[in-house]
Structure 1
Amino acid sequence: MKRDKLVYWVATTLVVLSLGFAGFAYFTDPAVKAGFKHLGFPDYFRAELGIAKIIGALALAIPTVPSQVKEWAYAGVGITFISAAIAHISSGDPVGMVMAPIVLFVVLVVSYRYFHKLHAVGGQLAGATH
């Protein structure tokens, strides 16, 4: 059980940090603004996605967030990672730009799998609600 918790929290922390840093950068980094323009997205989408990533990070990070809310957060974050990979592929960006969201998606899937594994064993996540 300790191993499962460790895997869950390591994977979740990696995703949460990625979302948090990205959400912050969407509002503060001119290179990110230029990147959105390069991908063909309107500027308001950058702000919208930044807010969504911060909310998603909080939903995944806070143990007392209800499971149903976490399910929606996992779905939304997964869609953003897949969409990012598609956007970078479509724009002809380098492999690293395409692989980063794919790797994060895999880490998200690990977090999701272990989230359910821990809940199936009687809600072993500290403070988690069902």
Structure 2
Amino acid sequence: MKTNRIIFWVATIIIVLFEGVMPAMYSQTEMAKEGIRHLMYPDYFGNTLVVFKILGAIILVIPKFNWRIKEWAYAGFTFNFLFASISHWAIEGFSMNAIFPLIILAILMVSYIYYHKIKAARIPE
């Protein structure tokens, strides 16, 4: 059980750093704004995306949130990573920018799997 918790928290903290902390700190930089424009999204999309990323990160890291809300956060991040990969692939072709979101998606899957392992161990059958 302790190993499951460690794996869960390491994976979850990586997601929170990439999807909560970094967007909060760097979303208003010119480089971030240019990244959104480069993918041909409107400027407001970047701001909306940052708000939902921060909310999702908070939901994942605070244990007291209802499991149904956590499921929505995991689903939102899954769509985010898939569509980020597709967007980069469509604009730039096959590149590291198209693969990187899928690597982070794999880390998210680890967090999700171990979240359910921990949850199942807590709930008596």
User: Would you say how many aligned residue pairs link Structure 1 and Structure 2?
Assistant: 122
For structure 2, the residue ranges without an aligned partner over 5 or more in a row are none
> Is 1:23–1:49's contact at 8 Å kept on the other side of the alignment?
no
Which residue number corresponds to residue 69 of structure 1? 69
Superposition deviation, residue 12 in structure 1? 0.4
- The reply on whether 1:83 has 2:77 as its aligned counterpart is no
Counterpart mapping for 1:10-49 below 5 A: 10-20=10-20, 21-26=22-27, 28-49=28-49
**Aligned-partner residue type, residue 104 of structure 2:** L
- Tell me how far apart the structure 2 counterparts of residues 25 and 94 of structure 1 sit (CA, whole Å): 25
TM-score normalized with structure 1 length: 0.89
- Tell me how far apart the structure 1 counterparts of residues 29 and 71 of structure 2 sit (CA, whole Å): 30
**Aligned-partner residue type, residue 69 of structure 1:** I
Cα RMSD, aligned residues only:
1.2
For structure 1, the residue ranges without an aligned partner over 5 or more in a row are 124-130
Identity of aligned residues (%): 37
> Is 1:16–1:57's contact at 8 Å kept on the other side of the alignment?
yes
Runs of 4+ in 1 over 4 A off after TM superposition: none
